[in-house]
Amino acid sequence: MSYLALARRYRPDDFSGILAQNHITKTLTNAVSSGRIAQAYLFCGPRGTGKTSTARVLAKSLNCKKGPTSIPCGECNNCKEIKAGISPDVFEIDAASNRGIDDIRELRENVRYAPVASRYKVYIIDEVHRLTLEAFDALLKTLEEPPAHVIFIFATTEPQQLPATILSRTQRFDFKRVPVSTLAEAVNDVAKAEGLEIEPRAALLIARKADGSLRDALSLLDQLTNFSEDRITTESTSEILGLVKSDFLFDITSAIISHDTAAALEMFSIYFGEGGDIDELATELASFLGKLVMVKNGVRETSLLEMDTMELEKTAALIADIDTADILRMMQIMADFIAAKKSGSDPVVAIEVALTRLAGLDKAVDINQLLTGLSNPGNRVKLVSNHSLKTGAQNAGGTALSNTKSSIYNPASRSNAQPKTSTIPLSGPHNLEDINKWWPNFLSFTKAKSMAVWSNLQHLVVDSVDNKIVNLGYTEKQKHLKKFLSKDKKIISEFLKEFCGNDVAASFVKITINDNEIDSKQTDVQRSADEFLNQRPLIKKLHDLIDGEVIDFRGN
């Protein structure tokens, strides 16, 4: 006898077996019990959440010899035939392969005939959104005046693609993703029924990977059973499913919070060298940061956090010394990475830039706390040093101020932090002798072309122009940017050529800027920052209180 996959073997026999869809099963149970049966149902929702399983259970409830009943017996011929998929009165149609008007015309012909051995003819049409418009038009005729013995159940992952005329003639039910905790419990139950030993964290990992789909969870369990035989461990689950191990997430996040850029980059290098997937890492890291925000704000429900008790305790310790604002700024950096990747940037370079930025973030401090503390001059250096300003917006970006060698970054709304640009047009030709006038516009031009290139280029200054070579200056502290920008040197040169209308190339030179002077090359930064400060009284008050100096301006 051929092997039957777990996802098929453990299909529910009645409504009680449908996971995490109580809002649907209760309604259908009451409808069957009371005899208020609709002639067309629409089941919508993500894959693997129980749409077709519910449709089969409903068909059994309606055609059971002891029914209609909300609890089909499972013993009569009708129940057995429906479960086996051989009932002459229950038809499962795949709209992806039977999507034309001829298929629907054949269906219209068949619905006229009475059921062979049941009360109802039940048509379950999966992925119904794949039908052609002509097929929908033909189906509409039947839905308007269906025979009393016919029930339609449509299933789809994309209800928005259905015509309004079809939607208006159905009872719609929206299926939800199955919660991770519920999936993990189901995986444990099936493993136990199969005589398998599975570690609790392994079941949790399977549930996370399944992303709300019971079918996917059981398919993954099938895969792991073949590898692990009678015992499924956390280690083997992570290895086989290509998951980012939780220990790795904790370690790299710890390095980021500790500002250990070298350690974070080294961890990524090892991860990538061992075949780790960058998208998987970015997704898991962004998700983990979201959970850190929840824990920081008092959430302790392990099922909601998709963590076990040990992971929760470890997480709480990890974020003990950082603020919600710090984590939110980290999440913004991960969002920037996704944008950079979509713009076509080298994913390895983009994730390295993201990790460098993450580890380089200063600690946030509330602006009102700073203003109160700075009223005592003795507190100024202690409060200002190595902290980022935290306003109500709690975002990354903004103005850096300094009255010592430390800096404060204002995380004001990114949409309000745009650098002021001149009215120079965004297309050439432009005179290279006037480059400092149109450089801000070139940055805007670059940003529209490639977010990844712009995110690094914006921090450099024009040092000099020599025979159609634009020398871009970086300081000792910015030398890591040269590594990334050098890879995009050709792209930057092409952007310059397109913008200027001239044959121009880019080059990079190391420069030294006196900490006690405002570099003349940064006058546009100063002008933009002054405008920014004038629009934000609290920040300007802090700037004036510490006799601050603008050392950097980071718009979005």
pLDDT in tens, 85-125: 899 999 988 887 777 788 788 888 888 888 888 899 999 99
Give pLDDT, residue 550: 57
Give pLDDT, residue 267: 92
Instruction: Give the whole-angstrom CA distance, residue 402 versus residue 409.
Output: 10
Q: Cα 391 vs. chain centroid, distance in angstroms?
A: 26
Residue 418, sorted as left (phi over 0), alpha (psi -120 to 50) or beta, turns out to be: beta
CATH topology for 246-360 is Zinc Finger, Delta Prime; domain 3 (1.20.272)
Contact 349, 452 (CB under 8 A): yes
pLDDT tens sequence across 228-269? 777 888 888 888 887 888 888 999 999 999 989 999 999 999
Torsion angle of alpha carbons 547, 553, 554, 556, nearest 10°?
A: 110
Contact 79, 179 (CB under 8 A): no
* pLDDT, the chain, mean: 79
Token reading at 476: 């000792």
Q: Among 439, 438, 445, which Cα is nearest to 459's? A: 439
Instruction: Give the whole-angstrom CA distance, residue 366 versus residue 346.
Output: 36
Q: Give the 3-state secondary structure of residue 424.
A: coil
Q: Which of 302-306, 378-382, 394-398, 426-430 has the highest mean pLDDT?
A: 302-306
143 or 228: which leads in pLDDT: 143
Q: Label residue 262 exposed, middle or buried (CB < 10 Å: 0-12, 13-18, 19+).
A: exposed
Q: Among 213, 176, 212, 206, which Cα is nearest to 191's? A: 206
pLDDT tens sequence across 359-392? 888 776 666 666 666 555 555 444 444 445 554 4
pLDDT tens sequence across 405-416? 333 333 333 333
Mean pLDDT of 532-550: 70
Mean pLDDT of 315-327: 88
Start-to-end CA span in the chain (Å): 62
Report the CATH superfamily, name and number, of domain 432-521.
Answer: DnaA, N-terminal domain (3.30.300.180)
CATH number of 180-241: 1.10.8.60
Q: Among 69, 56, 64, which Cα is nearest to 12's? A: 56
Q: Cα 219 vs. chain centroid, distance in angstroms?
A: 23
Using the structure block, give the residue that is written with the tokens 């990475």.
337
Mean pLDDT of 116-144: 88
Token reading at 394: 């709690």
Residue 306 in this model has a pLDDT that exceeds 70: yes
Give pLDDT, residue 517: 40
Task: Tell me the percentage of the chain whose pLDDT exceeds 90.
Answer: 22
CATH number of 6-174: 3.40.50.300
369 or 182: which leads in pLDDT: 182
Give the residue extent of every domain in the chain: 6-174, 180-241, 246-360, 363-412+536-554, 432-521
